[in-house]
Structure 1
């Protein structure tokens, strides 16, 4: 599919969300850094979001620590018209595993729902 196909709008439909970033881990890549605290997890997760404060980028990034990892999610500036639908719906949360540093992408759910989804789908790598 050409880039122009992805950005084309069809009347009555929201814009096509951007492609999901490539998986950060993998069998052929170097070992992922394993975060030991929220600041280190944020540094890893920051690579998967637009620059904070950039045009169209998040206003800030938040870290939610839980038993298996760190959930990084973006805070977006308030829209000019709060009654209008979002210009670009979608997005994702990033989870950095505490056990091996693996980066996973989850839907842009509230933190508690995203953590619950991660618990349901998490499968540790077999050694």
Structure 2
């Protein structure tokens, strides 16, 4: 499904992640729009003790392409880093 805007991309993204608020699930999902896609990424609660690792380390982000709706999963990285990684992956796919 090709997203029509950021809200629609977030709606599609909700089908790709555990339900928000479920045990071990994110507290929210967020969308970061960029020129060729929408990065959907989960938010997890902040710990009181910064030395304690998150309850669910790892995870992933998803990019939904604006052109064709193709979903690409990426490691859980800050938005700008994830977008850069997505561009790198695309450049390797293009002959």
Structure 1 and Structure 2 fold alike (TM over 0.5): yes
Whether 2:56 is the aligned partner of 1:84: answer no
1: CA distance, partners of 2:13 / 2:73: 10
Deviations 1:74-127 (A, max 9, x none): 110122533112333110000000000000000101000000011111147xxx
Aligned residues: 92
Q: What runs of 5+ residues in structure 2 fail to find an aligned partner?
A: none
Counting strand residues as a fraction of each chain, which structure ranks higher?
2
Higher alpha-carbon Rg:
1
Whether 2:72 is the aligned partner of 1:104: answer yes
Match of 1:64 in 2: 32
Q: What runs of 5+ residues in structure 1 fail to find an aligned partner?
A: 1-32
Counting helix residues as a fraction of each chain, which structure ranks higher?
2
Cα root mean square deviation, aligned: 1.4
Deviations 1:26-52 (A, max 9, x none): xxxxxxx10110111111111111111
1: CA distance, partners of 2:30 / 2:55: 22
2: CA distance, partners of 1:73 / 1:67: 17
